[in-house]
Amino acid sequence: MKKRWMTAALVCVLALTGGCGKSKSTDTAKTETETGIASLYPDSKITKLGNYKGVEVAKADLEVTDDEIQTEIDNLLASNPTYTKLDKTVVEDGDWVNIDYVGKLDGEAFEGGTSPEGGYDLLIGSGSFIDGFEDGLIGKEVGTSFELPLTFPETYTPNPDLAGQDVVFEVTVNAIEEETTPEWNDEFVQANTEYDSVDAYMEGTRTSLQEQKDSQKEYYVMQAIVDDSEFACADSDIQSLVDTKTKQYESYASMYGMELADFLSAVGVSEDSLKEDAQFQVQCALVIDAIAKAENMTISDEEYQTGLEDLAKQYSADSTEGFEEQYGKDEVVNSLLYDKVLDYVAEQAVVK
């Protein structure tokens, strides 16, 4: 399930990084009923606040199942396969091979073009390397070394400096292998996780999944309240949030050397889903604001100081004072009030 509620719950904090701008307030933390959450979306309104007390949540949605734990185990095993050397000596399409390689541009090894210690396990035909690399291994014998003169594609986002460049890969075929799923036992757990036994892993995974389920309770409650409420959401507010989120994705894409469209496709985000999530976030903010006012919720000085310290730590700030100066007290209050309302409606919910 997509955790849209989590993004919505943090929208005020995320706004600190550019969505709402810096607050210039220097007063003591707000304690009046009026909140600034709704002001994040000035052209949108909530016309009817739905029921927010005693919202029913299905017990099954909050319970960890054995199948979910098994899925975690299966994924862990699949991501840590073992490779066994075969007697086969000539590489064919579909083989797993262990190779050493060094890519050179103008006679110099280029960044990211050298195999790791112990060699690289490659499935021939997987398309993991640039065109010609895997085909160039077919027919080669184990133990042989050779050169592969190749050309990088005209567009190569992982390293634009290599785009269109003629290079040479020096390759050694170390072995032809068989990929197998490792045995699930204490030794595997010790080698690939923070736990020292299968039992410890099972217990820790169940606890972790339960924490996720418990946090999802807020999503189910907020979704129910939103569904029972009525809104007049402005396209301008939704688009503003879409634009902010798009800029964040552009930053992430740049970090990975990817085009925005490719990155969005990789993470399963579309234009429609961006707008859908943005609308949900606007609706959540309006609901939170309305509940805070209806229940006369405020943030005390003590709550503010504790929350400020937590936020500063979360954002790896050098100091609480610096964090407060950078983002402003008003937005810190908004974030804390948002979380306070979420906790309130979750506590009021009825699990059946």
Mean pLDDT of 273-288: 95
pLDDT at 155: 83
Q: What are the pLDDT digits (tens) for 168-201?
A: 999 999 999 999 999 999 999 999 999 999 999 9
Within 13 Å of residue 167, how many CA atoms lie on the same side as its CB? 26
The mean per-residue pLDDT over the stretch 261-276 comes to 91
Query: Which structure tokens are listed for 15?
Result: 């706004």
Rg of the Cα atoms in the chain: 27
> What was the pLDDT predicted at 35?
60
Euclidean distance between CA atoms 48 and 45, whole angstroms: 9
CB atoms within 10 A of CB 144: 11
The span from the first CA to the last CA of the chain, in angstroms, equals 20
- Give DSSP secondary structure letters for 204-250: HHHHHHHHHHHHHHHHHHHHHHHHHSEEE--HHHHHHHHHHHHHHHH
What is the CATH topology of the domain spanning 4-69+193-351?
Answer: Trigger factor, domain 2 (1.10.3120)
pLDDT digits (tens, 9 = 90+) for 205-221: 999 999 999 888 888 99
pLDDT bin (cut points 50, 70, 90) of residue 234 is very high
Q: How confident is the model at residue 11 (pLDDT cuts 50, 70, 90)?
A: very low
- pLDDT at residue number 256: 79
Which class in CATH covers the domain with range 82-180? alpha beta
Per-residue pLDDT at 12 exceeds 70: no
Extents of the domains making up the chain:
4-69+193-351, 82-180
| Residues in the chain, overall count | 352
What confidence score (pLDDT) does residue 215 get? Answer: 81
How far is CA 239 from each of CA 79, 160, 249, 277, rounded to the nearest angstrom? 39, 32, 15, 11
